[in-house]
Chain A
Amino acid sequence: MTTATGKKSSSSSQPRDGGRPSDQLDDQRLLELLYDMMLIRRFEERTMQSYMQQKIGGFCHIYTGQEAVAVGSIAALRPDDPVITAYRDHGHALARGMHPRYCMAEMFGKITGCAKGKGGSMHMFDRPNEMYGGHAIVGGQCPLGVGIAFAIQYQKLDRVCLCYLGDGALNQGAFHEAMNLAAIWKLPIVFALENNMYSMGTHIERGTSAAHDLSVKAAAYDMRYAECDGMDMCEVYDCFVDQVARTRPDEGDPDNSEGPVLINVVTYRYQGHSMSDPQKYRTREEVGEKQNEDPITTLSRQLMDQQRATQEQLNELDAEAKKAVLEAVKFAGDSPEPELDELYTDVYLEPYPPYRKGDLPQMVEEAEDRARDGDGRQKQD
């Protein structure tokens, strides 16, 4: 267990006794999850490089340091569970299965991007993979997540909505209204608080009441609360498997659920808030110390200690991740810009002049083709 500010208590280093959900993951699956984390790390490195080269514009928020959160929590979901997040969203999109090429092309502003270059870094949407965005106003995604959970309950489905938020969102009204509605209607939603301890440059203890014990935020809404170490993928996975199962309703019986939960996932971002952050609010020493708890190193070490993988295998995985990201950068760079008449598409589904109906993004069309061929996920609705 960890406290809100990430100081580890003794329980987090419990020996693995085979009784945790992550103990049931086979070697292959663990290596896949490690690969997903490596992919996000390498992807973000190239994102920063491309930003410096001015191939990416606007605001750009880097996920390095937090990889275990997205990968561990999404691994605990089923493929048909919807996911929604805030603006530091590249990691979630990749973990949910978005091909890195569509994610990178979106940031390059290309027509081949997941949102045809209209959304950018903060708006990663992937309908075939149940990814409901990327939302850029702090806390604004929380009521949306509650709405998705409401729709699950309304249709008596056995799904769970996973709604991420940062610690900055704890101080937004939208978060509190969302928590209240989720609680009074016992909606199937898991609020995953990615607590990296800084909302932009403001430390959680300067901006959030009861920062030392965030369980009271859940208690205020009569909601379950859990904590886990976001720097350890297996811990994240264990916590989410347990909590998601408790929240998940039965098909046809929405009442059979323990209702929503707030999970405080204590993590750390290595980079500044956005690409333009001089980081005067924290010391290099603090960042260095956190990098010693690196989630990729931790999982790699766990796998090697348990003789489940060799260093050579891990090197190969990393090389594969680098290669995939390079391919994504090349794809993004080679892709065409949107035509100027794309300005007036996708404003309305039933448009009136001067608006026009748009084509779906290449990513969605390909996924739908695969679904039609029976080779991939079925399209929702």
Chain B
Amino acid sequence: MTTTDRKYQYREALREAMIEEMHRDERVFLMGEEVAYYNGAYKVSQGMLDTFGPRRVIDTPISETGFSGLGIGAAMYGLRPIIEFMSWSFCLVAADQIINNAPKMLYMSGGQFGVPIVFRGNNGAGGQLGSTHSWCVESLWAHVPGLKMALPATPRDAKGLLKTAIRDPDPVFFLESERILGIGAHGDKDFSRYLHGKWAPPEVDEDSDENEDFLVPFGQADIVKSGADCTIVTAGRPLHFALEAAEQLEKEDIDCEVIDLRTYRPLDLQTVLQSVRKTNYCVVVDQSWPFASVAAEVAMQVYEHAMDDLDNKVIRVNSDDVPAPYNRRLEQEMLPNTRKIIEAVRTVTYNT
């Protein structure tokens, strides 16, 4: 199976993954706010109501605690729910259900009740939405054992990881980004040349089942760009900033290796360590706040396992440690961006 650079959007990948898995498994259903009659607040589930009907594509009231908990109960009873959060920012009102019940049920029941559920939706700043609607929940929730967490950055991985998530017997937190739902609409003008050849999943052949097996496994990082001088570790939307940074740094003769972790739980540390052992420098980019962040954790694990291979400290690039501002300029400054990554790489490689 070959991946391609055809015009293909991230949101199409999500939709295709859900449609294929719903055809494959009667137990899978999609539930959330505006997923059915509205055709998805972000058009991810466009057309799915027509295909599957209101029994399997289900609009909810604005009631995150209620429908998150419902999904968990349904999963305990043998179904395979996909619960869409219009934004992960809204999962906070359902926190008791999603972090107390979903990831701990198996343990608390001594292995009797698993919770095969996918919570998915937009994570991170959407663009001037203010602080309550711009949550990056990865560091908050990656803290919790018992869940798995995927953050695809490309349509290829969005499709492959979502199909894996739906088939996984454990709860999966699937973090998308509003800002990348539409990229790919203009073909390869939309993304870094380092992603050429790995943008879109194999095309769906209506007459073949082959496409249905396009799965991306959890816990396997992708070396998006190989390089000799500095390792940049990231996942999700910041991958695109990291690739932009790598393109510019290439002009300064700094050859970055860019690693997309793709899942935070499980975390593919080995790929990171192999890279650091080669480049001896490491920058970790994560769009949540720096304090007790995934970036802090990855940096710490690099220290624990590859201290002797490092020729400088590890530098983290996070969102600034402030609430997300409304002002456009302030917001862009706050988020991890290309400039911050370039500066971090120059600093860590002593090229200032």
Contacts and interface: CB of A to CB of B under 8 A. Distances in A.
Interface in B4-58: 29, 55
Interface stretch (B68-76, B229-237, B277-285): B68-76
B347 interface: no
Contacts of A355: 145
Interface string B233-255: 00000000000000000000000
Contacts of B67: 143, 177, 181
Contacts of B138: none
B69 A144 contact: yes
B110 A143 contact: no
B108 interface: yes
Contacts of A137: 96, 100
A144 B168 CA distance: 20
Contacts of B60: 181
Contact of B74 (A84, A140, A148, A359): A148
Given A143-B97, A144-B73, A352 B219 contact: yes
A144 B111 contact: no
Interface string B137-152: 0000000011010000
B66 A150 contact: no
Contacts of A155: 78-79
Contacts of B110: 113-119, 125, 346, 358, 360-361
Interface in B69-111: 69-79, 96-97, 100-101, 105-111
Nearest to A357: B111
Nearest to A176: B66
A173 interface: yes
Contact of B73 (A115, A145, A349): A145
A373 interface: no
B114 interface: yes
B127 interface: no
B111 A358 contact: yes
Interface string A121-157: 0010111000011110100101111111111101100
Interface string A352-381: 100100111100100000000000000011
Contacts of A82: 77
A350 B168 contact: yes
A350 B170 CA distance: 7
Nearest to B69: A143
B197 interface: no
Nearest to B100: A137
Contacts of A113: 110
B66 A181 contact: yes
Interface string B203-219: 00000000000000011
B271 interface: no
A342 to B, nearest CB: 9
A174 B65 contact: yes
B187 interface: no
Contact of A181 (B70, B116, B148): B70
B146 A148 contact: no
Nearest to A134: B108
Contacts of B148: 348
Nearest to A143: B69
A271 interface: no
Interface string A274-303: 000000000000000000000000000000
A346 B114 CA distance: 9
Interface residues of B, number: 44
A349 B69 contact: no
B63 interface: yes
A345 interface: yes
Nearest to A342: B110
Q: Which of A135, A142, A177, A380 has the most CB of B within 10 A?
A: A177
A359 B65 contact: no
Nearest to B145: A347
B169 interface: yes
A145 B76 CA distance: 10
Nearest to A106: B110
A140 B76 contact: no
Contacts of A146: 66, 69-70, 73
A180 interface: yes
B191 interface: no
A371 to B, nearest CB: 15
Given A143-B68, A151-B78, A361-B111, A184 B73 contact: no
Contacts of A117: 110
A150 B113 contact: no
A143 B74 contact: no
Contacts of B218: 352
A150 B218 CA distance: 30
Interface of A: 82, 84, 113-119, 123, 125-127, 132-135, 137, 140, 142-152, 154-155, 173-174, 177-178, 180-181, 184, 345-350, 352, 355, 358-361, 364, 380-381
Q: What 7 A-B pairs are tightest by C-beta distance, nearest first?
A: A147-B73, A143-B69, A177-B66, A115-B110, A151-B77, A144-B73, A125-B109
Given A133-B108, A151-B78, A348-B148, 16 more contacts: A143-B72, A144-B101, A146-B69, A147-B69, A147-B77, A151-B77, A174-B65, A178-B70, A346-B110, A346-B111, A347-B107, A348-B106, A350-B169, A350-B170, A359-B111, A361-B111
